[in-house]
Amino acid sequence: MNSQFPINQNFTKESLKKQFRLSEFLAEKIISSVAFLSITIIVLIFVFVFKESLPIFNFGKSDAAKTEITTDSKPESYGSTPTEELKPETYGSEPTEELKPETYGSEPVTQEDLKPETYGSEPVTQEDLKPETYGDVKAEPIVETTSNETPEVVSENNEGADKTWSTFFTTEWVPVSEHPRFGLIGLLIGTLKVTIIAMLIAGPLAILAALYTSCFASKRVKELIKPIIEMLAAFPSVVIGFFALMVLATFFQDIFGYDSRLNAFIGGVAMALAAIPIIYTISEDALSAVPKTYTEASLALGASKWQTAFFVTLPAATPGIFAALLLGVGRVFGETMIALMATGNAALLSANPFESVRTFAATIGAEMAETVFGETHYSVLFFIGSLLFIFSFALNAIAEFYVKGRLIKKFQGK
Amino acid sequence: METTINETENQFFSNKKKGVDIKGKFVVGITQVAVLLIIAILFIILGIIVYEGREKFSWEFITSFPTDGMTKGGIFPALIGTFILVVVMSIAAVPFGTITAIYLTEYAKENSKIAAAVRFSVRTLAVVPSIIFGLFGLGFFIQFMGTGMDKAFNGGELHWGQPNILWASLTMSLLTLPVIIVSVEEALKTIPRELREASLALGATKWQTIKNVVFPGSISGIMTGTILAVSRGAGEVAPILFTGAAYYLATLPKSLSDQFMNLGYHIYIMSTQSSDVEKTMPIQFATTLVLLILTLSLNLVAVIIRSRIRRKAK
């Protein structure tokens, strides 16, 4: 007995060692390394989308490399006066309004058509730009000798980098022209307008529907409704866009009788269709996750079903519903095909929901194919892309962490 | 005395009930209207597209090439292009998605930060706008990988460094990766813990348990995930806008380095960039109908399989 015991143990140890197989070890290593792929992809997406937009940030670096004086003058040209001077003038001025009929149709052609138009129509802007552009020509000889005299000139060293920046805060988006202007304000307003319209429609509808499904519907009805509404998520966005373009646009034009057939409102309605299933699913989950003790306590106190639903279940699920709305915003903000097809794609500045708009995502989708690799326009589009990416990343992070923290506090920490 | 109290109480309750009923019915009615409205919209879209697309929709339409500058004929190349796209996409996405899901359910510890980071990035992948994937495909696959491959193998000759079906499929596979991960994870979670423990108790190693017990149980999940991913990939257009989709091709793609036509892209260009939008309307509706039938039926199959998994788990 005594001698057998240790031998036996030795034996098992050995057999354990034998069971360590290289292939298994490798397989497990591969599994855990593949799992990091999704993290890697996220990082790569950011790195590569941002990398392509780097040329527009270029001015700082190479300036500093060339002359020391540049660093002194950089801050001046950066938050530059030209930008601020430009803004008010372009803002209220007619050129934008005059653009309307032109920009109306499809984009690529229009831009070329626009060129002469925009030139003639805004002498004011041109004059403001001139000092900069003049400097461009003379820039290189001057910099070597007396760069103190002309601070703005220095930044003109690398073609348009600084100029691109200064046009970012204007309202005009004229990427294909001799003096390309990349005013993001117009696009931002367009995107916000569509997002607000879409959320105003999709938010209440989806949340009310979720409330009905989780609080009032019988089990059988619930099992019928849920998959049907979630079926809406299976509609490709190009189909929704097509439907909006062909059917909704005409339908609503007949009702409201506005001028531009494709506009922010149509885009908003169509995007609401895309956002509804997301908001619905997530808020329905949040509502169903509210502990039964809450609702039962409320019912036991004599509250009716609807009172319980609105004053107990809904407030308890607020963080989840908030997350649902955030993800809905993210979806609408980055939606490309619907924006391309249904919003009219003209960057106009107006609060009127029945005017054409142009969103960030649609701009990328429409223009990327026509740009040349390495061009400023190309980089600016990638820059917009990285903005979109950061925005959706942030929304998701807020939705995830805020909601998780809140829910845990509410339901478990008590 | 007691009776009066009871009476007043009864009165009170009945009054309250009456008052509540109207308001309650109204409130519940609003939520009901919301549900009905959404469902109505869904069926209206479906109905209109079926109605408008039905006359052109035929076997011939599906199996013939577009003719006369895409104003006549069918959508065969677009259908084949979409098919190749989803097949290559699935080949790339399914193994990675499955492995990630296995890692998350089998290897990741409950509170590990790494697993949380993986989960977070999967969810982020799911919400990143699809156009960003397109940009990434252009920046990473075409400009970085493609150009790099050309420099390494072709002596700088442009072959891979341009939009083609391979890059489009890989781009699409990134987009559909979370769909697969979520489905497989869900299926893996339904495998009872006892099954795993029984296998381990019999002396199987962890890897053997995964290979012989867990993986077979996840097949249905992999199937659901693949079907949903295909349904998603067939419908997305934004990621392939500049990674491989072509306006018109006279022949079918012969290799992975060719461009391809795509159903969704076909709808997009026909409805916005075609020379005669009015004339090709029936074709557009019929193409939309084909795409819709494809995605919805795939989704339906996935929903059915999924509900079966759930029932089994119960």
Q: Give the model confidence (pLDDT) of A127-157 as tens digits.
A: 333 333 333 333 333 333 333 433 333 333 3
User: Distance between CA B86 and CA B227 in Å, rounded?
Assistant: 10
| Structural domain for B86, as ranges | 59-313
Query: What average pLDDT does the segment B233-262 reach?
Result: 84
User: Distance between CA B106 and CA A348 in Å, rounded?
Assistant: 53
Percent of the residues in chain A that have a pLDDT greater than 90, as a whole number:
10
User: What is the ipTM metric for this complex?
Assistant: 0.87
Q: Decide if B28 and A216 are in contact by the 8 Å CB cutoff.
A: yes
Q: Is the pLDDT of residue A374 over 60?
A: yes
A392 token code pair:
């959706």
Q: Decide if A216 and B32 are in contact by the 8 Å CB cutoff.
A: yes
**Per the domain annotation, does B136 fall within a domain?**
yes
Number of domains in chain B: 1
pLDDT averaged over every residue in chain B? 84
Asked whether A89 and A95 are in contact (CB, 8 A), the reply is: no
User: Hey, which of B49-63, B119-133, B203-217 has the most confident mean pLDDT?
Assistant: B119-133
**Per the domain annotation, does B257 fall within a domain?**
yes
Query: Rounded to 5 degrees, what angle do the CA atoms B220, B226, B227 make?
Result: 90
Q: Is the pLDDT of residue A207 over 90?
A: yes
Between helices A249-256 and A264-289, what is the axis angle to 10°? 110
Query: What average pLDDT does the segment A260-285 reach?
Result: 89
Which of left, alpha, beta for B282 (phi over 0: left; psi -120 to 50: alpha)?
A: alpha
* Structure-model confidence comparison of residues A382 and A108, the more confident one: A382
Task: Count Cβ atoms within 10 A of the Cβ of residue B189 and give its class: 0-12 exposed, 13-18 middle, 19 or more buried.
Answer: middle
* Structure-model confidence comparison of residues A44 and A375, the more confident one: A44
Q: Decide if A212 and B177 are in contact by the 8 Å CB cutoff.
A: no
Interface of A with B in 15-34 (CB under 8 A): 19, 24, 27-28, 30-32, 34
Q: Is the pLDDT of residue A206 over 90?
A: yes
Q: What is the pLDDT of residue A106?
A: 39
Q: For B244, which residue in chain A has the nearest alpha carbon?
A: A369
Q: Is the pLDDT of residue A12 over 80?
A: no
Instruction: Tell me the torsion sign for CA atoms A102, A103, A108, A114.
Output: positive
Q: Is the pLDDT of residue B272 over 50?
A: yes
Among B24, B264, B300, beta carbon nearest to A236? B264
Inter-chain contacts counted by CB atoms under 8 A, chains A and B: 261
Q: What is the pLDDT of residue A188?
A: 86
Fold of A187-413: MetI-like fold (1.10.3720)
User: Distance between CA A178 and CA A184 in Å, rounded?
Assistant: 18
* Structure-model confidence comparison of residues B50 and B159, the more confident one: B50
User: Hey, which of B29-38, B214-223, B255-264, B303-312 has the most confident mean pLDDT?
Assistant: B29-38
Residue type present at position A263 = N
Asked whether A404 and A397 are in contact (CB, 8 A), the reply is: no
Q: For A209, which residue in chain B has the nearest alpha carbon?
A: B35
User: Distance between CA B240 and CA B262 in Å, rounded?
Assistant: 9
User: Distance between CA A268 and CA A191 in Å, rounded?
Assistant: 10
Q: Is the pLDDT of residue A187 over 80?
A: yes
pLDDT band at A354 (very low <50, low <70, confident <90, very high): confident
Query: What average pLDDT does the segment A229-239 reach?
Result: 89
Instruction: Tell me the torsion sign for CA atoms B93, B99, B102, B103.
Output: negative
Q: Decide if B107 and A400 are in contact by the 8 Å CB cutoff.
A: no
pLDDT band at B218 (very low <50, low <70, confident <90, very high): confident
Most distant CA pair in chain A, distance: 106
pLDDT band at B311 (very low <50, low <70, confident <90, very high): confident
Query: What average pLDDT does the segment A70-92 reach?
Result: 36
* Structure-model confidence comparison of residues B22 and B41, the more confident one: B41
Among B37, B117, B174, beta carbon nearest to A39? B117
Instruction: Check which CATH number belongs to the domain holding B182 and give it.
Output: 1.10.3720.10
* Structure-model confidence comparison of residues A386 and B7, the more confident one: A386
Q: Is the pLDDT of residue A98 over 50?
A: no
Among B123, B207, B241, beta carbon nearest to A368? B241
pLDDT averaged over every residue in chain A? 71
Q: For A364, which residue in chain B has the nearest alpha carbon?
A: B131
* Structure-model confidence comparison of residues B192 and B90, the more confident one: B90
Most B-contacting residue of A207, A218, A238, A261 (CB-CB within 10 A), to test interface: A238
Q: What is the pLDDT of residue A71?
A: 37
User: Among the listed ranges A28-32, A169-173, B249-253, B309-313, which one has the minimum average pLDDT value?
Assistant: A169-173
User: Among the listed ranges A165-179, A285-299, B116-130, B219-233, which one has the minimum average pLDDT value?
Assistant: A165-179
**In terms of DSSP bridges, do strands B72-73 and B66-67 run parallel, antiparallel, or are they unpaired?**
antiparallel
Query: What average pLDDT does the segment A22-49 reach?
Result: 84
**Per the domain annotation, does B3 fall within a domain?**
no
What contacts 24+ positions apart, CB below 8 Å, involve A146-149? A147/A67, A147/A69, A147/A70, A147/A73, A148/A69, A148/A73
Q: Decide if B38 and A310 are in contact by the 8 Å CB cutoff.
A: no
Rg for chain A, CA atoms, rounded: 29
| Placement of tokens 């607000």 in the chain | A196
B147 token code pair:
């150009």
Q: What is the pLDDT of residue A230?
A: 85
Q: Is the pLDDT of residue A17 over 80?
A: no
Percent of the residues in chain B that have a pLDDT greater than 90, as a whole number:
18
Question: Shortest Cα distance from B25 to chain A (angstroms)?
Answer: 8
pLDDT band at A101 (very low <50, low <70, confident <90, very high): very low
* Structure-model confidence comparison of residues A73 and B293, the more confident one: B293
Asked whether A90 and A167 are in contact (CB, 8 A), the reply is: no
Contacts of B127 in chain A (CB under 8 A): 327, 330-331, 392, 395-396
Cα-based distances in Å from B166 to A274, A313, A373, B95, B272:
28, 49, 20, 17, 26
Q: Is the pLDDT of residue A379 over 90?
A: no
Q: What is the pLDDT of residue A166?
A: 66
Asked whether A398 and A327 are in contact (CB, 8 A), the reply is: no
Q: What is the pLDDT of residue A202?
A: 92
Query: What average pLDDT does the segment B193-216 reach?
Result: 86
Query: What average pLDDT does the segment B280-288 reach?
Result: 87
Q: Where in chain A is the domain with CATH 1.10.3720.10?
A: 187-413
Q: Measured in whole angstroms, how far is the alpha carbon of residue B227 from the centre of its chain?
A: 8
Percent of the residues in chain A that have a pLDDT greater than 70, as a whole number:
65
Q: Is the pLDDT of residue A118 over 90?
A: no
Q: Which residues contact B94 (CB under 8 A, 6 or more apart)?
A: B180, B222, B225, B226, B229
Q: What is the pLDDT of residue A135?
A: 35
Among B38, B96, B130, beta carbon nearest to A205? B38
**In terms of DSSP bridges, do strands A173-174 and A181-182 run parallel, antiparallel, or are they unpaired?**
antiparallel
